[in-house]
Amino acid sequence: MSLHGKNFIGNILSANGDKSSKIYDIHSNEPLEGVFYHATKEEVDEALEKANLAFFEYKEKTQAQRAEFLETIADEIMNLGDELIVRTIAESNLPRPRIEGERGRTVGQLKMFANLLKEGSWVEATIDEALPDRKPLPRNDLRKMLRPIGVVSVFEASNFPLAFACAGGDTASALAAGCPVIVKAHSSHSGTSELIATAIIEAVKKCNMPDGTFSMVHGGGRTVGQQIVLHEVVKAVGFTGSTQGGMKLFELANQRKTPIPVFAEMGSINPCLFLPSALKDAENMAELYAGSITVGVGQFCTNPGLILLVKDENSEKFKSKLSENIAQITPSTMLSSSIQQAFEKSREETLSQNDIELLGESKLKNTRAEGRPTVACVTAKTFISNPKFHEEIFGPYSLVVECESKDELDLVIESLEGQLTATVMGEEPDMLEFKKQIFSLENRCGRILFNGVPTGVEVCHSMQHGGPFPAATDSRFTSVGTGAIRRFVRPVCFQDCPNSLLPEELKDENPLEILRIVNDKYTRESL
């Protein structure tokens, strides 16, 4: 399939604008196939108006129909075959096994939401039957469930060109919830986005979903992206990327006549606390962490960017082993020139701060496409006093913070902003000794893990990927796992509604046999 570079205005392809962009190979600087036409204001408006019209029909599709739609999208993505894999590798510079794995994750996410819909209980149907004889006042018949919020705008992430992108977790959860989606394609992988959008539109047609259920547009975030967020028909935003981008969209959304939620996941330095019992195993710990810091060239929001320890007889050995391991790791190609340049700049700026020690770096120098694995070290006092050390460096980098005492460790943890993850390494008796510090970490993160590495996020019901600000704009929600659907629904209570008018999930007969709370009790029974 050759790439047309057009925008998907619902089911119609359109390229009315005179602005366009290409994608360049990071090594040769030669353009890849395809010219991508930025959407005009009129095209964006048309896509959003179509989405708004589609909402009223799409939200009334049964859960089974939406499940079939998600499964069909998954099939259509697989039908793209190797062409998708080849294009995604060319645009992201990520290796084939990673991209094939990510395709598996993308398709798996769609099927996971399809299964959630087939089971149906996620809508939290809750019924309190009328009590006409209650004294002093009767009770009305009250029935509540989660209903779709409306049109959702999705901003693709650069670091997961499939799984956090056009048909990624945000799109899958919004479509599952019953919301039409408009995707703002990421400028670093527009060809991948086009292929995936083609698959989604194929599924829209095969499953007889309304035109406008899905749209995808190209163009700059500051023009096309902001126009989408400011449009009154948009009711929620899903975003993964930089703090600057996420916060801009968050501010705009709050300045609208009708403010809307922006679920922005903006990264984290993911503190990892090494307890004394973990430092005893310096060799293995250093090897494990050197791997986690550099996997995927460190381009994960869960990258272990901060290692906390209390100085003892083993901490020096741990630091020197970590430095040795990092020195052995070859620099690798990053996602894009802009991300490589951003990494280089942040690395240099950080290493030029006062009182920072460069612990180790890859013994091979990087090319202008690559990120050089690096670890540095500061004292607790230096860390606390310099906000620069609290910033995410997106790439293969981590900072060791050496504390003189447990009290100093307390102060370091208290100085931390909200995080996606926190990790504790050590043996159980040690963990009990450091219980206060561990729960202080828990207070600042969305996922706390023990004796592992934060990279690698399981997609499942119990996952929490989100955390207190500034890791995310709303710590009550997750962007990974089935819980992600809750971002795009709102509770609605039907009071004294005739049974024939109620959504299936709330009808007396409970035709879907879902689990409901009826008069204080969990049950699948009909009334």
Active site members: 265, 301
Residue with smaller CB distance to ligand NAP, 225 or 483? 225
Q: Does 23 bind ligand NAP (CB under 6 A)?
A: no
Retrieve residue 475's tokens: 């710590």
State the minimum distance, in angstroms, from the CB of residue 346 to ligand NAP.
Answer: 8
Q: Candidates 64-72, 236-244, 431-439, 501-509: pick the segment binding ligand NAP (CB under 6 A).
A: 236-244
Of the two residues 339 and 369, which places its CB atom closer to ligand NAP in the complex?
A: 339
Could you say whether residue 248 binds ligand NAP (CB under 6 A)? yes
| CA distance from start to end of the chain | 54
CA gap 397, 306 in Å, rounded? 9
CA distances from 262 to 55, 138, 251, 266 (A): 19, 40, 9, 11
Task: Tell me: does residue 516 bind ligand NAP (CB under 6 A).
Answer: no
Compare residues 122 and 394 and give the one whose CB is closer to ligand NAP: 394
β-bridge pairing 445-450 and 234-240: unpaired
DSSP label of 19: -
**Is 465 a residue that touches ligand NAP (CB under 6 A)?**
no
CB of 229 to ligand NAP, least distance (A): 7
The residue (of 178 and 225) whose beta carbon lies closer to ligand NAP is 225
Q: Is 473 in the site for ligand NAP (CB under 6 A)?
A: no
CA pair distance 55, 52, nearest whole angstrom: 5
Taking CB under 6 A as the rule, which mask of x and - marks residues 291-330 in contact with ligand NAP? Answer: ----------x-----------------------------
For every residue of 219-278, which 3-state class applies, written as one string? CCHHHHHHHHHHCCCEEEEEEECCHHHHHHHHHHHHHCCCCCCEEEECCCCCEEEECHHH
291-321: b or e for each residue (b if 16 or more CB lie within 10 Å)? ebbbbbbbbbbbbbbbbbbbbeebbeebbeb
Question: Which DSSP string do the residues of 456-480 spell out, in sequence order?
Answer: ----STT-----TTTTBS-TT--SS
157 forms part of the interface with ligand NAP (CB under 6 A): yes
- Write down the least CB distance from residue 402 to ligand NAP, Å: 26
241 contributes a contact to ligand NAP by CB under 6 A: yes
Residues of span 33-52 touching ligand NAP by CB under 6 A: none
Q: Which is nearer to ligand NAP, 459 or 515 (CB)?
A: 459
Please report how close the Cβ of residue 64 comes to ligand NAP at its closest, in angstroms.
34
**How many Å apart are CA 225 and CA 183, to the nearest integer?**
9
Q: Binder to ligand NAP among 111, 206, 207, 245 (CB under 6 A)?
A: 245
At 205, phi and psi to the nearest 5?
Answer: -70, -45
Residues 379-398 that bind ligand NAP (CB under 6 A): 392, 394
Residue carrying the six token digits 């930089």: 242
**Looking up tokens 């006062």, which residue turns up?**
354
Q: What is the DSSP string of 14-75?
A: E---S-EE--B-TTT-PBPS--EEBPPHHHHHHHHHHHHHHHHHHTTS-HHHHHHHHHHHHH
Torsion angles phi and psi, residue 523, rounded to 5 = -160, 155
489 binds ligand NAP (CB under 6 A): no
- Contacts for 121 with CB less than 8 Å, ≥ 6 apart: 514, 515, 516
- The residue written with tokens 């690395």 in the block is 347
The pattern of x and - marking residues 324 through 363 that bind ligand NAP according to CB under 6 A reads: ---------------x--x---------------------
How far apart (Å, rounded) are the C-alpha atoms in residues 129 and 194?
Answer: 49
Give the H/E segment covering residue 381. helix 380-385
CB of 409 to ligand NAP, least distance (A): 26
User: How many Å apart are CA 259 and CA 443, to the nearest integer?
Assistant: 28
Residues 64 to 93 in contact with ligand NAP, rule: CB under 6 A: none
Stretch that binds ligand NAP, among 194-202, 217-225, 396-404, 461-469 (CB under 6 A): 217-225
Stretch that binds ligand NAP, among 115-123, 237-245, 367-375, 513-521 (CB under 6 A): 237-245
Residue 150 or 305: which CB sits closer to ligand NAP?
305
Query: Least distance to ligand NAP from the beta carbon of 416, Å?
Result: 17
Strand (E) or helix (H) holding 429 = helix 428-433
Which residue of 175, 204, 228, 249 would you call a contact of ligand NAP, by CB under 6 A? 249
- 158-197 positions binding ligand NAP, by CB under 6 A: 158-159, 184, 186-187
In the complex, residue closest to ligand NAP by CB? 221
For position 221 contacting ligand NAP by CB under 6 A, the verdict is yes
Rank residues 121 and 223 by Cβ distance to ligand NAP and give the closer one: 223
* Cβ at position 420, least distance to ligand NAP in Å: 8
Contact assessment for residue 273 and residue 437, using Cβ atoms and an 8 Å cutoff: yes
Two tokens, residue 95: 């290796």
User: Would you give the distance in Å from CA 302 to the centre of its chain?
Assistant: 11
Phi, psi of 442 (to 5 degrees): -55, -35
Show the site string, 101-130: x = touches ligand NAP by CB under 6 A, - = not.
------------------------------
Chosen residue from 40, 240, 333, 482 binding ligand NAP by CB under 6 A:
240
Helix, strand, or coil (residue 511): coil
Give the integer Cα–Cα distance in Å for 53 and 57: 7
Site size for ligand NAP (CB under 6 A)? 26
Measured from the CB of residue 417, what is the shortest distance to ligand NAP in angstroms?
A: 14
The residues of the shown chain that bind ligand NAP, judged by CB under 6 A, are 155, 157-159, 184, 186-187, 220-222, 225-226, 240-242, 245, 248-249, 265-267, 301, 339, 342, 392, 394
